[in-house]
Structure 1
Amino acid sequence: MGQTPDKYYQINGIQQIGIGVKDVHKAWSWYRKAFSMDVPVFEDEATANLMTRYTNGIAESRHAVLALNMQGGGGFEIWQFTSRTPNSTDFEILPGDLGIYAVKIRVRDINRAFNHLEKLGAEMLSPISKTPNGVNAFFLKDPFDNVFQVVEANDWFLENSSPTGGVLGVMIGVSDLEKSIPLYRDILGFSRLNYKEEGVYPEIPGENLTFKRALLSMPKGCNPGAFGALLCPAQIELIEVKERTGRPIFKDRLWGDLGFIHCCLDVNGMQNLKKKAAEAGFPFTVDSQDSFDMGSASGHFGYLEDCDQTLIEFVETHRVPILQKWNLYLNLKKRDPKKNLPKFLVRLLALNRVKA
């Protein structure tokens, strides 16, 4: 993205989805079994001093784990307040409510994934059916009331015996589809339009209402950055409900409360991205300015809000542990950001795997 060094930045994929939970260990245990999110990048207890804009001016303490599935895709940042009890919504979150409604999980075999998750006690919200672009998918709810859409995918980093891969994307409720598309398409690099249409979709959980939907994805083969190959091409689906008013999912709640708290993109060229976003009317609301420690990892992070105040996080990774037991770290600040790390180095992350 961008044509000159003073404007260049790149989006490498969805790094992780933040999930606010009541008990980080209980949630991570289920996500290891369900989605093979069993390779920790960091586990950290700290005070979120830079996020007071979204925590009522109070620096709250938290315990977080960033975990990956080595088959490919983004990870989960499983996030628990330790200084307060997290709040839930006082209503059932429905498709079209404003914010991250569902996280998309990539799979190879949709029937195997369905059976696997049903046996683990997930609440199956829909049968296997076709998306508007003809892909097999189904919806489920985890034991913590979070909704996931499981989707067959073709892009992978490794092959193993896990029934699922990592994060493929997110479904975000918006109030105005046409107004929302430019941020994700023109600024954030989800430039490929897979479909844009309006109709009634029986596979979407809840009432049979009319929705406007647009599925945007990263161009195939466009995953630069150190971990781009592991993250795989991602997608963002925007959804607008037509026959009721979408409710803000995090209205009167804090970042870190229960549910999907942000979508985090892995980037290079943070300052240029910040400038481009501000010029388009999406200024950063949080900026760590420089390297920020996250336990065993470090990086530069920032946030912006989309048209409906859904939080999009950006992380430019500076240091990441490869073999934590032997204190082996990679310093990424001097690497060519356009090149993926050698596959054998990324595979070493699996030596940190935590058993389900």
Structure 2
Amino acid sequence: MSKKLCGIQQIGVGVKDAKEAWKWYRTQFGMDINVFEDTAVAELMLPHTDGKTRERYAALAMNLEGGGGFEIWQHNGITPKAPDFELQLGDLGIFITKMKCRDVQKAYETHKERGLNIIGELSEDPAGTKHYFVKDPYDNIFQVIEDDSCFKKQKSLTGGVFGCVIGVTDIDASLKVYSDILQYDEVIYDEKGTFSDLAALPGGELKCRRILLKHSETRTGSFSSIYGPTEIELVQIEGRTPKKIFENRIWGELGFIHLCFDIIGMDDLREECKSKGFPFTVDSADSFDMGVAAGHFSYIEDPDGTLIEFVETHKLPIIEKLGWYMNLKDRDPNKGIPKWMISTLAFSRIKD
């Protein structure tokens, strides 16, 4: 069968203290579903870890409002480094993670009352969509953006991951990955200039080209109903030479480390990426095992080196405490998991 993109599974977030960061993400973004936790050695990421295996802790956290999750990632064998320069809009890599939100006004007011580091004011993008930017305690920037799609209403201020803002050197070249391979085929806007809604961001006063991409077709697959619709915004800055966000650093250090898609048909995807000039840099070849979860993962780089991960899930815990796991390897790829079954992830909620 040909490859199928089911949705954004997660954004990787490299932090120094995963437990501390996860509590903040639960409190402010409702990322309280513990899909899995795992401590192991990353043996297959050598192309992106200076050729050395790295000890790490990883946890996948989600929000039942819907959207992608966070893979909260902590190096255990080294002290992870931050960039040695201030990140600015247009720097190459994942600069901002987008979080979906049904009531942006309420979230904005509440985050402001809580004393969070709000960047600028509540504003609108060129399509008229309300949003605001907020920085976590670890210097990561999030865009809380209005979107009505919802898997299951929760008490949290926001839903999960809705996409990201990625700095590129050449938008047209980058579309070979984001529009072609990743199938973000719908252009919501493609504009050049200075933008009031970006002005408060570091480097946001400069002229840039920005293009917002969505997928025209509803994505399907086992967990597509909880991932929901997503978007990618590419930014090409003018007036300065952008820096690589992970320059002189390795995968898993501080910041947004990768964008991960849940997919079906890894073999076909491998051939497609290779034929289009973006061969896998990492390929688990068969089934990796993360304790309670298993699957097949791979990575490619966009033209500027931003890491895109693909995961074909084979096994996932539904209610781990009861030993209830789902084997997805032989499941009909066009058939989604029933909503009631996905909702049982609530049994894995962390309550502070």
Query: If the length of structure 1 is used for normalisation, what is the TM-score?
Result: 0.96
Gaps of at least 5 residues in structure 1 are none
User: CA offsets, 1:284-306, max 9 Å, x none?
Assistant: 00000111111211110000000
Corresponding residue number in structure 1 for 2:263: 267
Corresponding residue number in structure 2 for 1:199: 193
User: CA offsets, 1:177-209, max 9 Å, x none?
Assistant: 111112111111111111111110122113411
Q: How does 1:258-297 map to 2 (within 5 A)?
A: 258-297=254-293
Shift of 1:122: 2.3
Q: How does 1:126-137 map to 2 (within 5 A)?
A: 126-137=120-131
Q: Is the 8 A contact 1:219 1:233 kept in 2?
A: no
Runs of 4+ more than 4 Å apart: none
Check if 1:23 corresponds to 2:10: no
Alignment partners' CA distance in 1, 2:111 and 2:41: 34
Overall identity of the aligned pairs, in %: 47
User: Secondary structure of 2:44's match?
Assistant: helix
User: Secondary structure of 1:128's match?
Assistant: strand
1:211 pairs with 208, 212, 224, which one? 208
Alignment partners' CA distance in 2, 1:53 and 1:122: 37
Q: Is the 8 A contact 2:102 2:149 kept in 1?
A: no
Alignment partners' CA distance in 2, 1:35 and 1:293: 28
Q: Is the 8 A contact 1:214 1:237 kept in 2?
A: yes
Check if 1:338 corresponds to 2:317: no
Alignment partners' CA distance in 2, 1:289 and 1:50: 10
Corresponding residue number in structure 2 for 1:302: 298
Corresponding residue number in structure 2 for 1:165: 159
Gaps of at least 5 residues in structure 2 are none
1:81 pairs with 75, 92, 98, which one? 75
User: CA offsets, 1:99-135, max 9 Å, x none?
Assistant: 0000000001111111232344421112111111110
User: CA offsets, 1:79-100, max 9 Å, x none?
Assistant: 0000110001011111100000
Shift of 1:218: 1.8
Alignment partners' CA distance in 1, 2:111 and 2:44: 37
Deviation larger for 59-68 or 196-205: 196-205
Check if 1:186 corresponds to 2:180: yes
Q: Is the 8 A contact 1:94 1:206 kept in 2?
A: yes
Corresponding residue number in structure 1 for 2:350: 354
Q: What amino acid does structure 2 have at the position aligned with 1:311?
A: L
1:234 pairs with 206, 214, 230, which one? 230
Q: Is the 8 A contact 2:87 2:202 kept in 1?
A: no
Q: What amino acid does structure 1 have at the position aligned with 2:209?
A: K
User: Secondary structure of 2:37's match?
Assistant: strand
Shift of 1:154: 2.0
User: Secondary structure of 2:45's match?
Assistant: helix
**How large is the Cα RMSD of the aligned pairs?**
1.0
Query: If the length of structure 2 is used for normalisation, what is the TM-score?
Result: 0.97
Q: Is the 8 A contact 1:88 1:257 kept in 2?
A: yes
Q: What amino acid does structure 2 have at the position aligned with 1:274?
A: R
Q: Is the 8 A contact 1:34 1:116 kept in 2?
A: no
Alignment partners' CA distance in 2, 1:120 and 1:181: 39
The alignment covers a number of residue pairs equal to 349
Alignment partners' CA distance in 2, 1:90 and 1:53: 22
Q: How does 1:28-177 map to 2 (within 5 A)?
A: 28-177=22-171
